[in-house]
Chains A and B, each alone.
Chain A
Amino acid sequence: MKLKKYRLTSRSFHHILFITLAFTSLTSCEDYVDLDLPPHLTDTEEVFASEGSAEAAIRGIFATATSSTSTTSMFKLVGLSSDELAKGSYSVEETMFATNNIAPTSSNINGIWKGFYHLIYQCNNAILNLEEATSLADDFKNQLIGEAKFMRAFCYFYLTNLWGDVPLNLQTLYEESRLLSRAPQAAIYDQIIADLRDAQTVLSPTQHTSPGERIRPNYWAATALLARVYLYQEAWALAEAEATTVLNSDLFELEELTDVFYDTSAENILQFANPGTNRYTPVQLVGFSTSFPTFRLTPQFSDTLAVADARRVNWLAGSLDGPYKYKSISNFSGPEQPEANSVLRLGELYLIRAEARAQQDNLVGENSAEEDLNTIRARAELDGTTALTKSEMLTAIYAERMRELFGEWGHRWFDVKRIGQADAIFGSVKDSWVPQAALFPIPFDEIKKNPNLTQNTGY
């Protein structure tokens, strides 16, 4: 029995030893499961704690914008919706846009909507985090906030012009934004103007101004977009004033037609850099993938470009009648000089001011609508306009906008709608046109997920 007692002691000893060993190792559990982030992820708070990464987050907005379905769809699909492009392929999706009978289930409709709101989230996230950031210099911080606000205004501009009333989301909490109902277009415009005004105050007039570096918005980009917004709002004097500010800056000048879309073009106020390092232009902007054009100008549209019009030679793909403003694509031989996606360019600003002036009855003479219009016509090697009356002048300006801005950012679609001519113009050339087609359908998926979202009439 004595032996047993000794054994018991030994047993207890072993017990204690083991249990201690086991549980010492287990107490470190808490630390053990705490992981460092992998190299491709960075904590949001850290992103906005240093200049380099905060700026990278802003660049992320533009990187997203360059490849977003939203931005690239403005060229082809919105062009098909208007009277400027005809389909060259047989895809169901393209047919829907070309016949203005878009199913709410269309994947492209979903893609455009989703893309803009994704960009808006990025802007909101940047704005809110930058406002909270404590370790960044105010000037630097404000500059970045200005860029994000510019982009937010830019996205809402397209959203409201495509869909009318749309949800206005200015924050990042999904619990709140998932049930947003549609805000009236007026409220959207108020926000756009407020954002652009803010952007004007904080954005630098000297940064990103040299040709080739105009790939991020500065004071001038905000002003140019504001001019367009005022034009759409029919605030003619304000539109003229903002356009004049840009036109008088001496930073920008009209380029040769062949050089307008180069990444070094002095005509550009803002460009999106091409995605990746390849410096090619997305197929959607070129209209050609390899050998066949996937879309071309409608006959009535290409007829408007007179033989004398230098833009016919320079901006169309010869016999194929494709809009061919951009020419550089990865696997397609193009010009030596790389191009970039022109977002805002001086050509448009002249036409904005011409229209604003015409609307204010400043028709001919020095600093008139005629003068601005003829600047654009002259570059296209056309004679001066013969328009004299206000209505003639406006008609001439609309026609010029069509010839100058075709195949760019859906200008034609928006112009015809904003001057109230959709039914007259589209109705006359499109069999299937119905007035309700002027607004796109809200994506089916979105309505399904957000019970507060209502559909546009006619869908």
Chain B
Amino acid sequence: MKNLFTCKEKVVPILKKNLKMKLSVLFSFVIICALQANTTNAQHKITLDVENTTVARVIDEIEATTEFKFIFKTSVINLTRKVSLQVKNEHVENVLLSLFKSTNTSFEILDSKIFLSKAPPTPTSTPLQTTLKGKVTDVDGETLPGVTIRLKGTSKATSTDLDGQYAIQLPNADNVLIFSSIGYQTKEINVGQQTTLNVVLLESVNELEEVILSGGYYNTTERLKTGNISKITAKEINRTPVSNPLGALQGRIPGMVITQSSGNPGAAFEVEIRGRTQIDQINGASDEPLYIIDNVPLASGNEHINQINSAISASTLSGLSPLYSLNLADIESIEILKDADATAIYGSRGASGVVLITTKKGKAGKANYSISASNGVSVAPLPDMLTTKEYVAMRMEALANDGLDLETLANSSSLSNRNKVYDLAQYDTSRDENLTEQLIGGTAHTTDIQASVSGGTELTQYILSGGYHKESTVVPGNLPNSRASGRFHVTTGSKNKKFNAAFSASYASTLNTSTSSDLSFALTLAPNYQLYDENGDLAWNEGGYKSNNPLSYLLKKYEARSNSLNTNAVLSYEVLPGLTLKNSVGYNLITTDENLITPSTAINPLDRTGADGAYSFGHNTFKSWIVEPQLEYLKKMGNSTLSVLVGGSFQSQESDGYRLSVRGYEDDDQIGSLAVVTADMLQNPSSNFSEYKYAAVFGRINYNYLDKYILNLSGRRDGSSRFGPNYRFSNFGAVGGAWIFSKEAFMEDVSFISFAKLRGSYGVTGNDKIGNYKYQDVYQTGFSTGSYNSDPALTPASLFNPNLHWERNIKTEFALDVYLHHDRFQISTAWYSNISSDPLVSYPLPTTTGFSSVVNNLEGVRVLNKGLELQLTSRNISNDNLRWSTSFNITLPSNKLVEFPNFDESSYTESYAIGESLNTIIAGHVTGVDPETGLYSLQDYNDNGIYDISIDGDFRPQLDTDPKYYGGLQNSISYKGITLDFLFQYRKQMGRNWIGSYTSFTSPVGAVGINYPDVVLDRWQNPGDQTNIQQFTTSGSFFDLYNLNGGHVPAYFSDLQYTDVSFVRLKNVSLSYDLPTGILQKLGLNSMRLYTQGHNLLTFTPYKAGDPETATLNRLPPLRTFIFGAQISF
């Protein structure tokens, strides 16, 4: 880009040459604006009706009614010339062409500035010799309309039509043509003698000017934004072989921590934007962001949509993700709104950030068909567990350490003694069939097929797409997970562009199947566990010891079928120039039907009664309606632009479901049938219904002066049904500003800085995600207490609190964006500070009150999240053949409980400490393994000789599980048609280790029947050994609980359960090859791409026992995936 900010006299001569190119650029810009539904394209059009008026007056008139500003030397322009012009909604360049027709005045349009100058002398005309024709496409084969093609060194230019076709007459051979278009790298091509030239334009690395960011209710650009909006595009999403869009964001967005809950297809991702605010992690107001898909809030948010437990719902915080039903290929972009300026317009729902998902829209032009298919495999990274040999040695050592004798125990008359050694006496100790391999060592297969057609005219564009995705999992057996989806989007407008309409609908049907429980839990079984008997059937109770074969979970099949529909219609009408009336209506529906079948064969034969077949089923419906009337007003006033938005939101959300279990089928074939069910077979029927309504008015005022000073005010008045009449409504708002100081005169000489902006925002948002009806004093009816002797019964639902109100989040942000060397290096930094106060919690109460908690605002409690986010992008090499760019992001967060009035009297003294992070672990401290006894010793903070498991005793804040820093490093290298992308994700963090998830209070390492990762081999063996793992022992006695040298039992309540779970992971690799134009032409294709992608390929971590992200062996870790695919378009 040219330096735009030098004074007029200097600019004009340079600009003269590029006139037509610039015009084309502008034209393209207008087209893009028009394609972007609802952008205010009116300002580029001019309506004039003048008779015999001076040029000066006309210029004034244009400046008054549009955003354009004329810049010229009065000495070179004839301002007194009289003209007559009647134009209506005409493109500015056409108006200017008419205005300066047959004069020596030429013009140049840049952004909203029109430079006038004396026309250069007309070049001496050369005889025209050839006509060159061709087509311009992007790397995906999509045709590019509006690309400017200019003959180098002349003003001769043309542009491509809606189908990307162009034709230009060239004077002689050896011409150099320059192809340029907004958002794409300009390409110079020596034409030679050819008459047809098809060109592929690469996307521009510098996206500063062109990238349009959605703020939800309005659009802005990277250059003009006042708030913190991060964007990732379809390109990046499609490089990632994941089935949940959140998986594609991992490592890419500063300030956003995304954690995959398990490697089971369909399992949820947990998301946290700018730190934890939730004081009460189970029942408190959720700090998940607000999810909006094409203007419609996702009815279920990111909360799980299942009711029945299965392998997919691995932990209390996870379950079947509603986002699994989103077809990744349909996503155009995902924007993350983080600071007050960006989120305040979402009021009470914006406290934890907003995730805006926008789907693809059609592009004008001839119908473009695109088909892609990929196929791949996934495996689970397997933890290294003890082999049978090592396990048996461990057990024998444990027995010896405890002074126990295997023979004596095995032959004891006491069952309890015999059961202490069943794994050695009753199990075959020579068996080692590698349990890990057998349970989760399989290979999952992935297939993905996508097809779409898009096209349209300048007025109406459409896209129709369909996709099918199928994946299996790594456990034995056939457990398909699939998604079939269809979608269309159409935008249309009246010829005068005053009326615009957009309608989209997408429908997806997904199937998830899994075992009833994550088989990973069984990795801890003794490695000589018998899975199959001699006949190859499921083995049970080897040697008479009762135990349920984990493979029986394969017989208990879980199935969830979800359907989701998302529709949105936006109508807008430009009532007057600059004033647009708009209404957006949306509907989101997600239904889930689940069933779990337990045949009698899955029941331990010792427990079978002859009628064991069981069936659980449930249905859940989430609905969300939203109507949002809006009014937009845009006014240019001299050097400034004012845009105003006011609107209202009416949202209603409903969830309705039931579940039922039936037990006692005598015939496995009948399971699932309700025809044979008798009343006494019904178990635990339950139903739930809840409703949420929300109404608001919101507004935004944006004032832009000279594109240099920008002020943005936004606010919302919100009402939520979740609060009582006194606290139902509340106001939220923010102020944001930006100063593009690179435009200031003093920066003129600092030529290596191409763009610099200071930006700041301050405001208040809220959080009402506490659940419905919580402020009301109510009785309920439920299954277990819903009747007494068959007569209806009512019980109090909970303690109630009529004074519930919003959680408030006060956000401050300062940011500096500096782009260097013609935007080659881009540095964006943001410092943020979010104070959340009055958190909504399920406040723990002594049960003498009747309940163990009450939903409450913790008045005056303040949690501070602050941090620094840094993003660097560098275009290392950029030429026609080779491009290499690197981008890096890092976030340094911190979390602190700042204030907690009357903390000592609260119920949180054992969980938190003032001045520490919310993720602080308050526990005892293991000082090490006593080299003499071989047992863990604990720190006696209060010097009383015993281990007191309380904060008043020997518990102290030991560590916190906040990430210390995290981010990603991405490289993108392309050479001719070959593109290689790879992303490293990293995180520095403490987390729970295998001790926390594998041992229990009284089952230390060495206990009967539990296997461990091979890190335990590093244990203490002989006096004098220096190690950090205590001696093997078969049991812990709770009498040792208060013993400072008591080993495992007291140590169980210490920081021993935590370890470093940091990692650097090669998250993503994508290698693709685009066939060259010549071959494509022979094949009659627009483009063809072959690609391979990998996910979670390598992990570097100090964590020795499994995957550091899930940090537990009990859950299937994120899978390692490779896929191969091809995409063609024609």
Contacts and interface: CB of A to CB of B under 8 A. Distances in A.
Contacts of A60: 779, 785, 788, 793-796
Contact of B719 (A11, A29, A276): A29
B1125 interface: no
Contact of B49 (A3, A29, A445): A3
A42 B778 contact: yes
Contacts of A276: 783-784, 787
A42 B794 contact: yes
A7 B847 CA distance: 71
A22 B631 contact: yes
A183 to B, nearest CB: 11
Interface in A23-69: 25-26, 28-30, 32-45, 47, 53, 56-57, 59-64, 66-67
A273 B846 contact: no
B875 to A, nearest CB: 46
Contacts of B1022: none
A166 to B, nearest CB: 8
Interface in B660-689: 663-664, 679-680, 687-689
A63 B788 contact: yes
Contacts of B1002: 92
Contact of A18 (B631, B905, B910): B631
Contacts of A29: 695-697, 719, 729
Given A33-B720, A60-B795, A167 B688 contact: no
Contacts of A64: 785, 795
B546 to A, nearest CB: 9
A377 interface: no
Contacts of A434: none
B579 interface: yes
A120 B779 contact: no
Given A33-B721, A178-B845, A180-B848, A62 B794 contact: no
Q: Which of A34, A113, A331 has the most CB of B within 10 A?
A: A331
Contacts of B847: 110, 113-114, 117-118, 446
B75 interface: no
Nearest to B911: A448
B852 interface: yes
A43 B785 contact: no
A449 interface: yes
Given A117-B847, A172-B850, A448-B907, A41 B606 contact: no
B951 to A, nearest CB: 9
A18 B793 contact: no
Nearest to A124: B850
Contacts of B120: none
Contacts of B1038: 92, 96, 101, 103
A41 B848 contact: no
Contact of A277 (B781, B787, B792, B797): B787
Given A25-B648, A90-B416, A273-B789, A38 B690 contact: yes
Contact of A10 (B576, B663, B793): B576
Contacts of A193: none
B791 interface: yes
Interface range on chain B (Cβ under 8 Å from partner): 35 or more
B393 interface: no
B693 A117 contact: no
Contacts of A28: 695
B786 interface: yes
A41 B850 contact: no
A310 interface: no
B728 to A, nearest CB: 6
A169 interface: yes
B1085 interface: no
Contact of A42 (B646, B779, B782, B791): B779
B606 A277 contact: no
B850 A122 contact: yes
A275 interface: yes
A41 B419 contact: no
Given A42-B778, A122-B796, A290-B609, A18 B575 contact: yes
Nearest 7 Cβ contacts at the A-B interface: A121-B850, A273-B789, A59-B793, A450-B846, A59-B788, A60-B795, A114-B847
Interface of A: 3, 7, 10-11, 14-15, 18-19, 21-22, 25-26, 28-30, 32-45, 47, 53, 56-57, 59-64, 66-67, 90, 92, 96, 101, 103, 110, 113-114, 117-118, 120-122, 124-125, 167, 169, 172, 174, 177-180, 215, 273, 275-278, 290-291, 330-331, 445-446, 448-451, 453
Given A59-B794, A63-B787, A117-B849, 9 more contacts: A14-B576, A18-B631, A42-B778, A44-B779, A47-B794, A101-B1039, A174-B849, A178-B845, A180-B848
21 contacts: A11-B579, A14-B579, A22-B648, A25-B648, A26-B695, A37-B776, A40-B687, A41-B797, A42-B781, A44-B778, A61-B795, A63-B787, A90-B419, A121-B796, A215-B788, A275-B784, A277-B679, A446-B846, A448-B909, A448-B950, A449-B907
